[in-house]
Chain A
């Protein structure tokens, strides 16, 4: 009896092991068999379809109620502003074919295209633009839906295709605000059936499942005409599910975890690019011991960013030195790239100067839903042990993180990714003393002054210099440890070409096309 039990236990274990071997083995074993299934799915029919994943549920389809970058990444195919941005982040004409800026920098006159129609066939005129901007800025009796237009004095629509904005103060960053979506006047159902002017029309949204868009055949700009007929975005929260969906041909293109790139690279084209995110090890500048700049610098010297990039992101990340990604082009300060090379001796020395010769203990509060940040925390913990500093990692739910850390700054240190914006003010402004969500509790008089003056600065070179100096201050003051810009990694079917990266997360579906 006993023998039999042992035998059955042994056999059960063998089976179990075999099952697990199947789990891991099939990742590599499947490469030849899947290539064929993924080809068949869309090529044959007349209608071309692209299926992609998104990592989170849209916060709202109504652009006025939406702020999530994942939502913007897909809905920017549906909505357009007066201006658009290109791959380098430069502002290009959109609904407005041209614009004039007055000498004093206070008056912007936009000349609208006359051939733009909304997806509900209503032609676009300056009345729609006026309606949109009145709502954004809270003018004409409307309630403001954005706080970015407080600098506006007035809006006018002198004729059907001209729109004039008068500012209270000149603002070099104003033009880039106009990428914001233009909505049709009087249309109330944006949250359920969004209507824009973009190259794709909204078709359907099934909560927790998918968002479907289709080609706008009447799109005015032939150069930006969609090349595929239909796009389906599947809401997928599990990265393993994304990989198997690609392998089984249920997705055509997907943004993936860097870890998964090696599994997929033989069957798929892998593209990657910095995504203008700053992964940051934030130290609360207002609590001891991190209120001492020397301690923050010591931490910076102790952290080996390359190790994090190679371990956590499989090499798919761009090293950072300040709160700014190199994709920001002209505004990026490349003179900082040799600061804080890993130097444990120097770190220990700085700690000694600050009176922490025997180290100290502290907590890293990491958001539980971001595995990459938790993994980074583990590595930083080990690296800091080398200079005698002991970290305890505490993971908390995202909702709790937003409340405790982000809103109330009740924390010692944390790790998070700050998504990038086209406007350098939106990126660097987070460190301004009176920024409501300055959870770093960083404060520097010169910094505040530069950020404020750069906003109204007319001379572009001075403005660039101001922002570069701001980045330098952040580095010198070690406002935080700026780790990396984790690259956006995209795996695409080999016959699906044209995926294009932008300095902000935008899945531009107009560029995609099937080869052959």
Chain B
């Protein structure tokens, strides 16, 4: 067991190092001087010079990478070129927003996806199920961006119930915070719930054709109990996989959704940092994303073994 963890952690650290090295290298090759991008075409040559000095762009490239790694080992991710703030602080703030968005969206996804999936698995042949499957088909095919525009039009522009943009911190005004996160969460949940519905439905149907269900039925176990204590537990495995992927996805920042709703989350930070060639911030975000992926995968692995004790971490 200990060996398993050591190998996992070692593999993870090597991956992180290679990913950082690669990102660093790519941004050396890409055209674009961060000082010029930040200051724009009206910049005074003296200002560009000063900013370049401040960023340490005059130092040789390998040295800059080593300095960055050194800082990292001391727990210092450096200072963003663009925002003149510590990278860890910027990512921390954005993470706060993205986590709230993720939790909200995932609760909606689960609340809609699981019951509707189970319901559909039993009723999919009935004519009245058609609108529901069509809606889930729609969720799969309509891009989240387009759906966001539709939501904004209905709930912000027409009805005026919810804001179309911006974010209010929870500590400042909990109600306004929930309001500001509702539309983006719904936009994300619409697509992910549609995926979840399909997986739950297929998975439940598959399980219900298994022998153990027939055995239970012949024993006289009520259908409801079969579903709850046997079928559901077994159908959760693929569902968990999808759920894990969705969490990773949302925590990694929904670039489009966050831009449409002007939310200051990870996705927005990713797009600005790349556009402005803000290397320290990009490096920090790459680390963050790698960690999120690894942690989420790990948690999913652990949950597998909780749901199905036959699965062991090897």
Chain A bound to chain B: yes
**A residues lining the B interface (CB < 8 Å):** 8, 11-12, 15-16, 19-20, 22-23, 26-27, 29-30, 33-34, 36-37, 57, 59-60, 64-69, 138, 143-148, 191-192, 206-210, 234-238, 240-241, 244-245, 247-250, 369, 397-400, 402-404, 406-407, 416, 418-419, 421, 436-437
Asked if A207 contacts B90 (CB within 8 A), the reply is yes
Stretch binding the partner chain, chosen from B106-114, B141-149, B192-200, B224-232: B141-149
Asked if B44 contacts A399 (CB within 8 A), the reply is no
Task: Chain A residues near B30: list those with CB within 8 A.
Answer: 399-400
Asked if A208 contacts B36 (CB within 8 A), the reply is no
Closest to A69 in B: B42
CA distance A22 to B45 in the complex (A): 50
Task: Chain B residues near A418: list those with CB within 8 A.
Answer: 41
CA distance A145 to B54 in the complex (A): 13
Asked if B160 contacts A33 (CB within 8 A), the reply is yes
Asked if B40 contacts A67 (CB within 8 A), the reply is yes
Q: Which of B108-135 contact A (CB under 8 A)?
A: 130, 133-135
Asked if A145 contacts B134 (CB within 8 A), the reply is no
B-side interface size class? 35 or more
Known: A236-B165, A406-B41. A248 touches B157 (CB 8 A): yes
Asked if A65 contacts B149 (CB within 8 A), the reply is no
13 other A-B residue contacts (CB within 8 Å) besides A65-B51, A145-B44: A8-B130, A57-B276, A147-B45, A207-B90, A207-B264, A208-B264, A209-B262, A240-B149, A244-B149, A250-B163, A369-B275, A402-B36, A402-B40
Name the one of A22, A238, A398, A436 contacting B153, with C-beta atoms under 8 angstroms. Answer: A22
Asked if B46 contacts A145 (CB within 8 A), the reply is yes
CA distance A400 to B163 in the complex (A): 36
Q: How far is the CB of B65 from chain A (nearest CB, A)?
A: 20
Task: Chain A residues near B42: list those with CB within 8 A.
Answer: 67-69, 419, 421
Q: Give the secondary structure class of B's interface.
A: helix
CA distance A127 to B250 in the complex (A): 53
Closest to A430 in B: B41
Q: How far is the CB of B13 from chain A (nearest CB, A)?
A: 30
Task: Chain B residues near A146: list those with CB within 8 A.
Answer: 44, 46-47
Asked if A397 contacts B46 (CB within 8 A), the reply is no
Q: Which of B85, B94, B160, B259 has the most CB of A within 10 A?
A: B160
The 4 nearest A-B residue pairs measured at CB:
A399-B32, A37-B160, A248-B156, A67-B43
Name the one of B159, B164, B276 contacting A399, with C-beta atoms under 8 angstroms. Answer: B276
Q: How far is the CB of B134 from chain A (nearest CB, A)?
A: 5
CA distance A34 to B156 in the complex (A): 9
CA distance A181 to B83 in the complex (A): 21
Q: How far is the CB of A39 from chain B (nearest CB, A)?
A: 11
Asked if A244 contacts B152 (CB within 8 A), the reply is yes
Asked if B272 contacts A208 (CB within 8 A), the reply is yes
CA distance A143 to B53 in the complex (A): 12
Asked if B262 contacts A234 (CB within 8 A), the reply is yes
Asked if A244 contacts B82 (CB within 8 A), the reply is no
Known: A247-B157, A403-B36. A209 touches B167 (CB 8 A): yes
Asked if B158 contacts A241 (CB within 8 A), the reply is no
Task: Chain B residues near A236: list those with CB within 8 A.
Answer: 165, 262
Asked if B157 contacts A30 (CB within 8 A), the reply is yes
Name the one of B32, B44, B160, B276 contacting A67, with C-beta atoms under 8 angstroms. Answer: B44
